[in-house]
Structure 1
Amino acid sequence: MTDYSVLVPFLPRRPEQLLPYAGLVHWTQAERLWQGQALFVEPHQGFAYAAGAGFRVPAGLGVTLMPLRHPYEAALQARSLALATGRPVVAGFGPGGRSMQQSLLGEPYRSPLTAAREYLTIVRGLLANEIVDTKGEYFSCHGALHAFPAPSVELGLGVLRPGMARLAGEVADVAVTWLTPASYLEDVVLPAMREGAAKAGRRVPRLVAIVPVALEHEGHGADVFALASNAAHLQGPHYLDMLRRAGVGVGGEDVKADARALVTGGAFLSGDLDGLLGRLRAYEKAGVDEVVLNVTGVFNVAGAQEAMSDLKRIIAALSAG
């Protein structure tokens, strides 16, 4: 059975801005509240604030960026969040873009796969209360967290392409995808995850898809919402490569044309309520374990009330079966 969750559709400037979305998860059948990397209110702190305000909901970090923190700090923050909320946490990590790596580290990772493998291996050992003694090409650690009972922390890895999907199969508990059509997940990502899991002799990780969606709104075409939601991603070479692999006709030169391609290629879902539900069901059939509803485009174009209205209508319809 596929769970449905909610993404905070903006970068909060004040922690109280998260509360309506935490409340939505608390009061509906939504499974989890997710947030990607934010550079205003940092996600761990925002979720802890919501917990202190009474909304102790399961949290998903999808994803935080490895160059920002050492894996010891990452493990400590993830466990601290589980302790603060009293609920399970999905701690997703990703290497970020090459430009960010260059800016923060002095040079990009020669091999993002190696960097991610080292990072998650260290974090996993620390969360398991092991003494970690690792000297890697990118990350090293000799130490341990003080053992203390806490809700579970699942390790997530941001996945776009087959190489990272195979690595997720080997080392992660959860693969977290963004802007990936259902057919691409079924035909490319899941087989690669199974390959990696078989190589490591472990079960296949859960697959979480963060999916941009919008209901119909008078005066705004779906491509407008798609562009408002994903303009930055349409500038990223790794996203463009993934979309081309998925058969989405993005050229990387005309961002408006590429936004239209997201809609026609099934990377951005829109329509009336029944039509949108049918498109979401394709993710269930593809084998996705958790779909995260991302209404960032609606928020940016039509405002906060319309974005919340879309989420409430979609979640209510999904809950009704």
Structure 2
Amino acid sequence: MDDVRYDFQVDSTERIPAAGIVAAAEAAEAAGFRAFWRGESNGRDPIAVLGAASARTSRILLGSAILNVLARSPASTAMAAATLQELSGGRFLLGLGVGNRNIASWHGRAFENPLRSVEEYVGIVRTALDGGRTSHSGSIHSSSGFKLAFTVPRVPIYLAALGPKMSELAGKMADGVLTNLGDAAQMELVWSSVRRGEAKAGRPPGSVEVIDIVRLSVNEDYGKALDAIRTNFAFYGLADYYRDMFARMGAGDALRDLRENYSKYGFRRAASMVPEDAIRTVPGLVAATSVEEVRSRLRYFESTKADAVMLVYVPSSDDPSSEVSQFLRSWAGS
């Protein structure tokens, strides 16, 4: 593609307080980013943070990337999404995903049949957000008789997806798909699966926006930026699907060493031992000394099937809030 739209998110690390995340949303709007996203893990609640950001911004889209479908009932999510849509004046994007077994255990839920879980959940939420009364008894999610007491403009729903089945489901029933750290080959897989889903659902091609996620860090001391991104490589490289994806990109030897070092020394030391050339094999991991260098590396994504790229900033200094602000100011001036 020739014109890539850029969105922004602060890494889900909890080193930045809630007020700093809201300030980042303001700065991202001033820097010209299309959307500001906030993820969900075990830290500051994205619904609360995005609600505060809606009051401090006026143009930028605000999205959840992602809310976990096992963390709250479909009715609760519909209420939260509708409220954020009202607060933001129609700027909210609802990102949903299934997470993993660890996250499921936090909420006392079983991690089972992710595809069916998302399909049932999205169906219930879509009904509620569109003003209907829910009537669904599924194997994983159920809701009966719930109807929102107020109406809002239509809320777009985005699904987190890496593989072809979830991407195809997004093509059938979502407005967008969020995929993480994909290279051109991965984006081709996601894009073709989304288009297949659109066709099966009788939707026009291109109904679903495809967003790729890039994780980056900028520091005049390149070693510090690289160390921050090493942690990302290690975190994802130890997960099954990402390990396979990174291996396809050419990082197989480093991934084998990562697993061995993790078992011997633990995560921190294993991450510190990831070689730079392994990180370079993953286009979605960027360590740089300047915004200009970041923009140069991002040109790669002009030739992929992504409609937009979400930049997730990974702080590398002792003052992450100021670091994020500096990056956004530099982006605006570059």
TM-score, normalised relative to structure 1: 0.87
SS of alignment partner, residue 293 of structure 1? strand
Report whether the alignment pairs 1:278 with 2:280. Answer: no
Partner of 1:177: 179
**Distance 1:294-1:27 versus aligned 2 partners, 3 A rule:** same
**Residues 160-199 of structure 1 correspond to what in structure 2 (within 5 A)?**
160-185=162-187, 187-199=188-200
User: Is residue 61 of structure 2 the alignment partner of residue 44 of structure 1?
Assistant: no
Q: Tell me the equivalent position of 2:8.
A: 6
Q: Tell me the CA shift for residue 208 of structure 1.
A: 1.4
**Change in 2 beyond 3 A, CA 1:96/1:270:** same
- TM superposition shift of 1:6: 1.2
Q: State the Cα deviation string for residues 11-46 of structure 1 (Å, max 9, x = none).
A: 377432223212113323111111110433211111
Q: Which residue of 1 aligns with 2:135?
A: 133
The answer to whether structure 1 residue 212 and structure 2 residue 230 are counterparts is no
Partner of 2:323: 306
1:31 maps to a residue whose letter is R
Cα distance in structure 2, aligned partners of 1:8 and 1:30: 13
- What amino acid does structure 2 have at the position aligned with 1:122? I
Offset, 1:182: 3.7
1:88–1:151 Cα contact (<8 Å) kept: no
Q: Report if the CA contact (8 A) 1:76-1:145 is conserved.
A: no
RMSD value, Cα: 2.5
Q: Does the C-alpha gap of structure 1 residues 106 and 43 become closer, same or farther in structure 2, counting only changes over 3 Å?
A: closer
Q: 1:53-93 CA distances to partner (integer Å, 9 max, x unpaired)?
A: x3244211111111111111111111111111223211111
Alpha-carbon distance, 1:147 to partner: 5.5
Q: Is the 8 A contact 2:35 2:62 kept in 1?
A: yes
Match of 2:306 in 1: 288
Deviation at 1:222, TM superposition (A): 5.3
**Which amino acid letter does the alignment assign opposite residue 197 of structure 1?**
E
* 1:248 to partner: Cα distance: 4.2
> Of the candidates 239, 242, 266, which is equivalent to residue 283 of structure 2?
266
Distance 1:126 1:98, change over 3 A: same
1:190 shift after superposition: 0.7
| Residue in structure 1 matching 2:72, options 66, 69, 81 | 69
- TM-score w.r.t. the length of structure 2 is 0.84
Higher relative contact order (CA 8 A, sep 6+): 2
Aligned-residue identity in percent? 24
For residues 25 and 13 of structure 1, what CA distance do their matches in structure 2 show?
Answer: 15
| Cα distance in 2 between the residues matched to 1:153 and 1:284 | 28
Structure 1 residues 242 and 101: CA distance shift in structure 2, 3 A: farther
Q: Distance in 2 between matches of 1:221 and 1:168?
A: 37
* 1:223–1:263 CA contact under 8 A, matched in 2: no
Work out whether 1:201 is the aligned partner of 2:219. Answer: no
| Residues 86 and 150, structure 1, Cα contact 8 Å, conserved in 2 | no
For residue 116 of structure 2, what is the aligned residue in structure 1? 114
- Residues 1:67 and 1:258: Cα distance change in structure 2 (over 3 Å): farther
Unaligned runs of 5+ in 1: none
Kept after mapping to 2: 8 A contact 1:72/1:123: yes
Cα distance in 1, alignment partners of residues 17 and 292 from structure 2 = 35
Letter aligned with residue 213 of structure 1: L
Report the counterpart of residue 267 of structure 2 in structure 1.
Answer: none
Q: Alignment partner of 2:156: what SS?
A: strand
Letter in 2 for 1:284: E
Residues 300 and 138 (structure 1), Cα distance of their counterparts in 2 relative to 1, 3 Å cut: farther
- Which digits, 9 at most, give the CA deviation of each residue in 1:253-272, with x for residues without a partner? 14436574233232312345
